[in-house]
Amino acid sequence: MNIVEELKENKNLSDEQFKVLLETDTYNDELFKQADIVRQQVYGKDVYLRGLIEFSNYCKNNCYYCGIGCENKNITRYRLTKEEILDCCKQGYELGYRTFVLQSGEDPFFTDNLICDIVSAIRQNYKDCAITLSMGEKSKESYIAYFKAGANRYLLRHETANEEHYKKIHPEYLSLKNRKQCLFNLKEIGYQVGSGFMVGSPYQTTKNLIEDFRFLQELKPDMIGIGPFIPAQNTKFANCKQGDLNLTLKIISILRLLFPYALIPSTTALGTIAPNGRELGLKAGANIVMPNLSPAKYRKLYTLYDDKICTNEEAAECRGCLEKRVSLSGYKVVTDVGNPRKTM
Ligand code: SAM
Ligand code: FES
């Protein structure tokens, strides 16, 4: 049995074997092929859509890699109103989206009461939809309140599972311990949880990536979001190298084989570093795309990194473009809430 067959069979490998997969290209073809086989066994050709609403680019934190960190004085800040968010959902529902992802920086303007008010209004209007939040680290009580208001999924990438690496890419007031605790709290409350990391973030090593796999094995998330690190101007890492396309694709395939049931997006960051990046991500084992639903006039301001794609299109154009990309990759977009299939 070669390493890829072993990974498929056992849903695990030793650290040394992971290192071979990550550092050599010997097994790439086999890796992509087997990941696609497993993806089709679990999800067929289906690709789920998540309508992304970037509702605020204010953030009280200053993650060193992130273009909307609070120390970046060169960007224009914006917030959507409740009405604007509900308009996005209305448009998204008409376009066939059955999951809304509300993402923002950590913005204290959006108090728990305000978030609960927005979430319950969405829940009331769209009973058949999933509501995903991605607003960073909050107290367990806050997470419980949002859950009771009707949110049922939460995305919080752990960013890196290694303490020292975490410290190198975050300010001292943020801790990996708290981020991990948030993820376990969210699981305990009953959310479907998504975690993940950037590929090629500054100082990241192969050992760190293997530690990321090990942490994900411990967490067993429903969703795993990974994408290449892309430098953002006016940040500490503005001149660092971007993450590698091939390595990102290999990691998508490894994750598919480690977690056959997982919902894995082919991210906008992947589409930013290569024109056909999202198609390649789908072929490597991803099964989600996240069209942007934010009003076009704000999109350019949610600048996590440089040259982000899809900032000029209207929601309907994004839908059409992604549908075409999905079908060119050999898969099909489905109108479905898109829950994880854990029957394997
Ligand atoms: N504030 C929330 C949080 O902390 O989870 C959600 C927003 S945050 C901007 C969403 C994700 O963007 C992060 O988890 C990070 O992995 C990704 N991101 C930030 N800066 C990036 C960059 N320069 N390149 C690629 N991805 C980046
Ligand atoms: Fe807060 Fe990026 S630093 S969202």
DSSP 75-140: S---B--HHHHHHHHHHHHHTT--EEEEEE---TTS-HHHHHHHHHHHHHH-TTSEEEEE-----H
pTM of the model: 0.98
Looking at residue 343, its pLDDT comes to 61
State the ligand closest to the CA atom of 243. 1
Work out the angle between the directed axes of helices 245-258 and 28-43 (0-180°, nearest 10): 50
Whose CA is closest to 201, among 250, 162, 234? 162
Looking at residue 316, its pLDDT comes to 85
User: Does any ligand 2 atom lie closer than 6 A to the CB of residue 61?
Assistant: yes
Looking at residue 122, its pLDDT comes to 98
> What is the distance between the terminal CA atoms of the chain, rounded to a whole angstrom?
22
User: Does any ligand 2 atom lie closer than 6 A to the CB of residue 88?
Assistant: no
CA of 150 to the centre of ligand 1 (A): 24
What b-and-e string marks burial along 121-158, b requiring 16 or more CB atoms within 10 Å of the CB?
Answer: bbeeebeebbbbbbbbbbeeebbbbbbebbbbbbbbbb
Share of the chain above pLDDT 90, in %: 96
User: Does any ligand 2 atom lie closer than 6 A to the CB of residue 67?
Assistant: no
**pLDDT exceeds 80 at position 155:** yes
State the ligand closest to the CA atom of 63. 2
- Tens of pLDDT, residue by residue over 260-291, are 999 999 999 999 999 999 999 999 999 999 99
Whose CA is closest to 290, among 231, 281, 157? 281
Residue type, 207: K
Whether the CB-CB separation of 52 and 291 falls below 8 Å is answered with yes
* Banded model confidence at residue 313, pLDDT cuts 50, 70, 90: confident
Residue with tokens 């609070």: 70
